[in-house]
Amino acid sequence: MFPDRIKFLFCALILSCGWISFPSLAQLNIEIFGGGAARIPIAIVPFADENRLQQNITSVIGADLQRTGLFKLVDTSGASPHAPADVVFPDWVNRGASALVIGRTVAMPGDQVEIQFRLMDVSKKTQLTGLGITVPSSQLRSAAHRIADVIYEALTGDVGVFSTRIAYVLKQGNKYALQVADADGYNAQSIIEYNEPIISPAWSPDGNRLAYVSFENKKPVVYVQTLATRQRHAVANFKGSNSAPAWSPDGNRLAVVLTGQGGSQIFLINADGSGLQRLSRSSGIDTEPNFSPDGRYILFTSDRGGSPQIYRMAVTQSENPNAERMTFEGSYNVSPDYSHNGKSYTFIHRNNNQFNVAVQEIGSRQVQILTNSKFDESPSFAPNGKMILYATEINGRGILSAVSSDGQTKQHLSVQSGDIREPAWGPLPKWK
Amino acid sequence: MKKLLSVSLIVLLSACASQTTQPEVDDLNSGSNMGNTNLSGSGSGRPGYFNQLQDPNSILSQRSVYYDFDSYSVKGEYREMVLAHAKLLRDNPDASVILQGNTDDRGSREYNLALGQRRADGVRNMMALAGAGDSQIEAVSFGEEKPRALGSGESAWSQNRRTDIVYRGE
């Protein structure tokens, strides 16, 4: 059986030298390599009365910020301001902090907790932002992620993704589980479990449904499942193989790969399984479709040129009937996934029998290889475009890893037992 | 004046309140999409050709086609076996097979699924040319998902580059 809650081991590394460890965060086994000079030094003072809660809040905030590789946590021992009037700014200047987080928690009737926090600019001695949240005590981790999002956005100008979820496949022995977890690996839940393989989970744009390929019927069939109700239906169950689902940005249609008409070819189908329409026409393999955020284009993998390469075609083919080849370096470029703004995409590039995560900027066609591991697969952009989640292998075991889109920061997410693969980073929650 | 915003938190994870295993299946399109992949017996008596399929002295007991690295064509040594299965299908219009293409585990899972399909399609085309009916054959792929041999290295990989011939009702 699968445990209902799986803790990931995080190992964040910033490509550089030296070691700094943070014993206060030992529960997540976070280790940070390096001395990233550009990291923002931030002091997060434990919130007033948070030690009475069933879930510590500031440790979750600190872990979220640290995993991005953009922040350095400043020691707060011996100081405990909870309100702006308590803050002795010169003390925080001396500790090297440029930002300071303070706050308090208040237990409310009905098992509710009110959390108030403020983000202070240490050099200007002003408040940058603040937030008051009241949540059930069972939702304290979510509240902490929400606060981390506010801090991240205030200090970097980018949207935070700490409140998002990820989907992946966990294989333990002969069992396969499609799981959904918070972006930090907590609250893992099995959506389905089978004794046959599951691959290619894909989030609907609203985050309410997952499309995936299951082999439970002794062949690949594409299903769509609603997370809230667990209800699902087969969207593509045609003669031959059915695979590689990708959602259109409006959530109404899927691109899928079918084999019934010869070869593996890309089709469009409505999310209820109606309205099948062929999209790609080649004599070879066309697979791994992925919609651009504006819905106009599909990136896909094709071997029409003799080796698997990434191509782009218009969804409305009257616009441009010919697919355009995007990758030219190397003999194996596969698994494209657009960034949130459609200006770049991530993919897997093989070089000297190493499979690595790469990014191509679409405007300039420039390619950057971000990893140096051996067996990377299934890259998936975070919804703010700042990180890429992918599957890789360490000591023969499948783990998830994340790399920043500039290649500077990496973290590993592994489970205690079993192989973890086929990650897909979910969309931003609706309040964003 | 410092003012805190007051916002109530949207509950994100209510969707995942309980842990289930098998979801309810609501196959909306079993009519247009064909969902007929039942590999278990239909309940009636087993046809006579099943004895041949299980007779170790019959070439029909051989069910796997193996491939060279990066190759999808049926090698000469498997031709006689594939044609024997095609003849069985031709002689028994009620018989049908699923051809399951497989690959080794290097590279993209979805691309490997397409490569396994190419292997199964190759066997299907050979059988069709030899007179087996289109409705008697379904070519599908398991990609790298169902390796016969675990581990990496050529000895395992060569076992996994294959197409299996499976009769419905077996």
Give the CATH number for residue B165: 3.30.1330.60
B90 in any annotated domain: yes
DSSP summary character for residue B137:
E
Q: CB pairs below 8 Å between A and B: how many?
A: 201
CB-CB contact of A103 with A86 (8 Å): no
Chain B residues with CB inside 8 Å of A232's CB? 23-26
Average of per-residue pLDDT across B112-118 = 97
B150 contacts chain A (CB < 8 A): no
Inform me whether the C-beta atom of residue B22 falls under 8 Å from chain A C-beta atoms. yes
Residue range B64-80, pLDDT digits in tens: 999 998 889 999 999 99
**B111, B115, B138, B157, best to mutate vs chain A, most A CBs in 10 Å:** B111
In B, minimum Cα distance to A302 occurs at: B111
What pLDDT band is residue B46 in, cutting at 50, 70 and 90? confident
Nearest CB among B3, B22, B142 relative to A215 is that of B142
Residues of chain A contacting B5 with CB distance shorter than 8 Å = 130-132
Q: What is the mean pLDDT of residues B146-165?
A: 89
In this prediction, residue A38 carries a pLDDT of 78
Q: What gap in Å lies between CA A101 and CA A44, rounded to an integer?
A: 5
Domains of chain A: 38-156 (3.40.50.10070), 165-425 (2.120.10.30)
Does any domain span residue B122? Answer: yes
pLDDT band of residue B33 (cuts 50, 70, 90) is: low
Q: Does residue B16 lie within any of the structural domains?
A: no
Q: Are A166 and A180 in contact (CB under 8 A)?
A: yes
pTM: 0.87
Give the pLDDT confidence score for residue B151 in this predicted structure: 77
Residue-level pLDDT at A30: 34
Q: Kindly list the distances between the CA atom of residue A65 and the CA atoms of A130, A148, A181, A184, B29, in Å, as whole numbers in the listed order.
A: 17, 7, 18, 11, 46
Chain A hits for B138, Cβ within 8 Å: 219, 239-240
Average pLDDT score over chain A: 89
Please determine, for residue B2, whether its predicted confidence score (pLDDT) is greater than 50. Answer: no
Among B4, B10, B140, beta carbon nearest to A130: B4
Residue pair B26/A232 in contact (Cβ under 8 Å)? The answer is yes
User: How close is the nearest chain B Cα to the Cα of A234, in Å?
Assistant: 5
Across the interface, whether the CB atoms of B16 and A189 are under 8 A apart is answered yes
**CB-based contact, B10 to chain A, within 8 Å:** yes
How crowded is residue A167: how many other Cβ atoms within 10 Å of its Cβ? Answer: 21
Tokens for B100, please give them.
């399951």
The boundaries of the domain holding residue B161 are 63-170
Q: Which two tokens stand for residue A212?
A: 């995936």
CB proximity under 8 Å: A 172-231 to B: 180, 182, 187, 189-193, 197, 199-200, 208, 215, 217-221, 225, 227-228, 230-231
Examine residue B116 and state whether it is found in any structural domain, yes or no. yes
pLDDT at B27: 39
Q: In what order do the strands lie in the sheet with A209-214?
A: A198-203, A209-214, A221-226, A232-236
Residue A45 near residue A80, CB atoms below 8 Å: yes
Burial (CB count <10 Å: 0-12, 13-18, 19+), residue A342: middle
Question: Tell me, what's the ipTM?
Answer: 0.89
CB A110 within 8 A of CB A143: no
Banded pLDDT at B136 (limits 50, 70, 90): very high
pLDDT of B29 reads 39
CA distance A10 to A28: 6
Rounded distance between C-alpha atoms, residue B143 and residue B150, angstroms: 14
| pLDDT-flagged residues of chain A (< 70) | 1-37, 317-321, 416, 431-432
Across the interface, whether the CB atoms of B26 and A231 are under 8 A apart is answered yes
* CB atoms B10 and A429 under 8 Å: yes
pLDDT level of residue B35 (50, 70, 90 thresholds):
very low
* CA distance, residue B132 to nearest chain A CA (Å): 17
Distance from CA of B154 to the nearest CA of A (A): 14
Q: Is A58 touching B (CB cutoff 8 A)?
A: no
Q: What is the DSSP code string of B77-97? A: HHHHHHHHHHHHHHH-TT--E
- Domains of chain B: total: 1
Whether A228 and B139 lie within 8 Å, measured CB to CB: no
Whether B109 sits inside 8 A of A192 (CB atoms) is no
Q: At residue B39, does pLDDT exceed 50?
A: no
pLDDT digits (tens, 9 = 90+) for A124-165: 999 999 999 999 999 999 999 999 999 999 999 999 999 999
Look at B2 and A241 and tell me if their CB atoms are within 8 Å.
no
Whether residue A193 and residue B5 make contact (CB cut-off 8 A), yes or no, is: no
Asked if residue B28 is part of any domain, the answer here is no
Instruction: Write out the two tokens for B133.
Output: 């009916």
